Structure 1
Amino acid sequence: MFDWLNADNIVELTGEYRSLGPLIGLILPFLEAFLPFLPLFAFVIANASAYGLWIGFLLSWVGTVMGSYVVFSIVRKYGRARLLGFITKYERVQKLIHWVETHGFGPLFLLLCFPFTPSALVNLVAGLSNMKKKNYLWTLLAGKFVMIFTISFIGHDIKELLTKPIHTGIVLLVIMLLWLVGKQIERRLNMRVEANYRLAQKERQEGKGPTV
């Protein structure tokens, strides 16, 4: 059933993808920021395999940063309006907004470094927060740089990846480790978000109490 899925056919598909031109390599990561169900991981590997490590990396990096920043800007402008205002009613979103506003660059940078982080949620929360646009752009540039380059480096030689079992095993192990570490960091951040939000709520309630 999958006889066609061999190294030569994959290389041929890569050549056909490259023939579409570099614009497609920019557009697909850009669209993923709006449609998070699209496979960014696959787009980055396709770009690195078709255009080489560095050009493929640049196409993916620029595309995903542009898309993420446009989403952030749209949410920043319309997030409090009636059209999107319902989003801020969710307690989880409120917690994340509070976390971003009190901690800024560091946590977002860490989350954006890992390929399995829900970056659409990060863009949304950052847009709803009071984080400065310039600061978020720098966060995107740095975090996406690490993430996109890691994926590009893993997948830039697709033929070697498919024909050398040891190399494939190492790559799969690295991907698994990235997933595990990313989830661990996400879990720890969620716990801190919860604790900080509860503390802020408690302090706000005490501040509203009667004064002597």
Structure 2
Amino acid sequence: MIEAFLPVLPLIVFVVANAVVYGLFQGFLYSWIGATTGAVLVFLLVRKLGRQRFFLFLRKHKQVKRVMVWLEEHGFGPLFLLMCFPFSPSAIINVVAGLSGVKTRDFLLAAVLGKSVMIFSITFVGDSITSFTSNPVKTIVVLIGISLFWLLGKFLEQRLAVRAERKNG
């Protein structure tokens, strides 16, 4: 969770350490809960403080504006994919998403599912570093997991959108 507020800390090192110390399941669970909680807290904090002077400076930045608009238009999908990859700048993603008009529901869904894919992938590798490189089946399992979570996220996003439409309609 602390890594979300201090992005210079190496998340991968913490996740691998948790996998080695606690094993696959507990290491994944502890890392996932911490990373997801941190991402959501940063998002909500930026969402609440986004009108402050410092954040106004960020909002006016040309590239930040462009990413904000893109995230608002595309919602869950890009957020999910960005959160799946261990080397994506999650601190920037959380802040820009908080500044944008992305629905909180979409961010939460993308964070919960995307972080689970990312953390599981790293935990899986960390739990069995030597066998991961010699066993391509593990790589295939990770790729299938990413695909399944993406499909689940899109399905949930559509269901939530239909519900919101009915509620507002």
- Return the TM-score normalized by structure 2: 0.76
- Equivalent residue in structure 2 for 1:148, among 100, 119, 123: 119
Distance between the aligned counterparts of 1:168 and 1:138, measured in 2? 29
- Equivalent residue in structure 2 for 1:63, among 24, 34, 43: 34
Question: What is residue 8 of structure 2 aligned with on the other side?
Answer: 37
For the pair shown, the structure with the greater C-alpha radius of gyration is 1
Q: CA RMSD in A?
A: 1.7
Question: What is residue 113 of structure 1 aligned with on the other side?
Answer: 84
Task: State yes or no: 1:129 paired with 2:109.
Answer: no
Aligned residues: 137
Distance between the aligned counterparts of 1:108 and 1:136, measured in 2? 7
Segments of 4+ in structure 1 off by > 2 A?
A: 167-171
State percent identity of aligned pairs: 51
Alpha-carbon distance, 1:49 to partner = 0.8
Matches within 5 A, 1:1-212: 30-157=1-128, 161=129, 167=131, 169-170=133-134
Alpha-carbon distance, 1:168 to partner = 6.7
Alpha-carbon distance, 1:83 to partner = 3.5
Higher relative contact order (CA 8 A, sep 6+): 2
More helix by share: 2
How far does the alpha carbon of each residue in 1:141-184 deviate from its partner, in whole angstroms, 9 at most, with x for none?
A: 01001000000000114xxx4xx5xx47459xx6xxx9xxxxxx
How far does the alpha carbon of each residue in 1:80-119 deviate from its partner, in whole angstroms, 9 at most, with x for none?
A: 2224211112111000000011010001111111100001
Question: What is residue 162 of structure 2 aligned with on the other side?
Answer: none
Consecutive unaligned residues in structure 1, runs of 5 or more: 1-29, 179-212
- Return the TM-score normalized by structure 1: 0.61
Consecutive unaligned residues in structure 2, runs of 5 or more: 144-169
- Look up the equivalent residue of 2:97 and give its one-letter code: A
- Look up the equivalent residue of 2:121 and give its one-letter code: T
Distance between the aligned counterparts of 2:57 and 2:114, measured in 1? 28
- State whether residues 125 and 132 of structure 2, in contact with CA within 8 Å, keep that contact through their aligned partners in structure 1: no
Distance between the aligned counterparts of 2:62 and 2:6, measured in 1? 23
